[in-house]
Structure 1
Amino acid sequence: MPPSFLEMAVQHFDRALRTVAGVAQEGPANRAAPDADAPQGPGPSSGETQHIGRLMRVNYAGEVAAQGLYWGQGLTARTPEVAEKMDTAASEEQDHLNWCIRRMDATGVGPSVLNPLWLAGSVTLGAAAGLAGDRWSLGFVAETERQVMNHLQGHLGRLPDTDPATRAVVEQMYLDERSHAEWAEGAGGERLPFPIRAAMTVSSKFLTNGSYWT
């Protein structure tokens, strides 16, 4: 018997609370963390440790926002197929949330206090993208993932060589985001107009700066 609407609402609410609080959760993939077997090396200096932790807090906040986008897009998808794919993508990226939590814990840095804001805003944006139609919604996914890829590349350039464990996590996240972007484009996603892409870039700057410091 499928779950009732109330049961699904409670499950999503519980999932949202755990996500913004930085609590690890199981996902369908539940892959081993890329840093599990990575050489730890001598470790970063104390100053570098805080910097690395804040970078991973930014990455975690980005994954919180991605969850919100997928949830919002799934709620307003025009077809059950696209709604299911959005939910699957959100579940698959649970691994990213868990991996970020591991690296944040390793550096003693907690989640951003602004996570509820990122989640709520992203659900709203995702719902709006879904209402525009599935092709535009898929295009929104593709553009989001492309911008996340650029963001992760920037972080790889800022991570010290003394922390191969964190680099392993960010590198795997990059590969996964590329896979999701290619999926969305292959499924028929439309390229977004430049003003929308530019606005997405600006909004990501607020998330990056806000999450790094708070």
Structure 2
Amino acid sequence: MRGPLPSHMGVFSCGSQTAGNTVRMVHRGIEQEEESERSRSANGTDEDPDSMQDVKQGSGASPRAASSEQLAKEEQRKVIERMLRVNHAGELGARQIYAGQLAVLGNSSVGGMIREMAQHELEHLQEFEKLVVERRVRPTVMLPLWNIAGFALGFGSALMGKEAAMACTVAVEDVISKHYNDQVRELLQPGWEHEQPLREKLRKFRDDEMDHHDIGIEHDAQKAPAYDFISNIIKQGCHAAIFVSERV
């Protein structure tokens, strides 16, 4: 775990640098993997060693069954890629929202509480930064935009007052916690047993986001001016960001 959360400007610049570093690390890994594939092709060794061993031992698996299994694995890989891509983007955005709020409310009565929630988001972000590199997942191209938009949303909501900042927190965390819950439910389906470690991480992060949601309610989020309007606008924005981040 890193030290205390830096000042709001440090967090803002760090967000951009972190996003860039993650993209470079993933691209470097993909390039190395592609180079390895080209080398195997040049040497005439495209065949998967494990598959060749099965053939030599007379495993009895038909080509059609092997092909179906490979397709299923490929589909699962794509599902995990979408999950990690959008979760990584979401945690970057959430961290920046809290950074924007701290820029305005850092010295207020809710500053310590916001700082603690920001630390949770930082821990989530660090975990997904590791996972996108380990799994060779391309981060969304929208990271620079979410970096700026997240800070602007947090800053703007805090300028409207503590209640509006909490209303922003409640709306965002409501969407994120439900999104994580959907992912947990998907990984509970048959055939996903090998992803239990990832499922447990998502479950833990979901619970953290639900705690943030409840904290916002306890700190008068619903007393914010035009609460329903603000909440609906923010939720729609979050759903749109999720849709885009999963795909580009």
TM-score, structure 1 as length reference = 0.77
Aligned to 2:232: 198
Aligned to 1:134: 162
Tell me which stretches of 4 or more aligned residues in structure 1 moved more than 3 Å.
7-11
Relative contact order: is structure 1 or structure 2 higher (C-alpha 8 Å, sep ≥ 6)?
1
Q: Which moved more, 1:104-113 or 1:174-183?
A: 104-113
Q: Answer whether contact 2:167 2:230 (CA < 8 A) is retained.
A: no
Q: Answer whether contact 1:145 1:180 (CA < 8 A) is retained.
A: yes
Cα separation, partners in 2 of 1:8 and 1:205, compared to 1, 3 Å: closer
Paired amino acid for 1:12:
V
Paired amino acid for 1:109:
V
Where do residues 1-214 of structure 1 align in structure 2 (5 Å cutoff)?
8=7, 11-21=10-20, 23=22, 45-77=73-105, 79-159=107-187, 161-162=192-193, 163-190=195-222, 193-214=227-248
Paired amino acid for 1:146:
D
Q: Distance in 1 between matches of 2:9 and 2:107?
A: 23
Q: Say which structure is richer in helix.
A: 2
Q: Distance in 2 between matches of 1:167 and 1:157?
A: 9
Q: Distance in 2 between matches of 1:22 and 1:167?
A: 26
Q: Answer whether contact 1:103 1:166 (CA < 8 A) is retained.
A: no
Cα separation, partners in 2 of 1:82 and 1:167, compared to 1, 3 Å: same
CA RMSD between the two structures = 2.4
Q: Distance in 1 between matches of 2:12 and 2:105?
A: 20
Q: Deviations over 1:167-188 (max 9, x none)?
A: 1111010011111122222233
Q: Answer whether contact 2:171 2:235 (CA < 8 A) is retained.
A: no
Q: Answer whether contact 1:61 1:115 (CA < 8 A) is retained.
A: yes
Paired amino acid for 1:181:
H
Unaligned regions of 5+ residues in structure 2, if any?
A: 1-5, 23-71
Q: Deviations over 1:29-70 (max 9, x none)?
A: xxxxxxxxxxxxxxx813311221221110111111111211
- Where 1:111 maps in the other structure, the secondary structure is coil
Q: Aligned residue pairs: how many? A: 188
1:146 is displaced (CA, Å) by 1.5
Percent of matched pairs sharing the same residue: 20
- Where 2:111 maps in the other structure, the secondary structure is helix
For the pair shown, the structure with the greater C-alpha radius of gyration is 2
Q: Distance in 2 between matches of 1:22 and 1:145?
A: 26
Cα separation, partners in 2 of 1:184 and 1:205, compared to 1, 3 Å: closer
1:73 is displaced (CA, Å) by 1.1
Paired amino acid for 1:141:
T
Q: Answer whether contact 2:167 2:231 (CA < 8 A) is retained.
A: no
Q: Distance in 2 between matches of 1:123 and 1:47?
A: 35
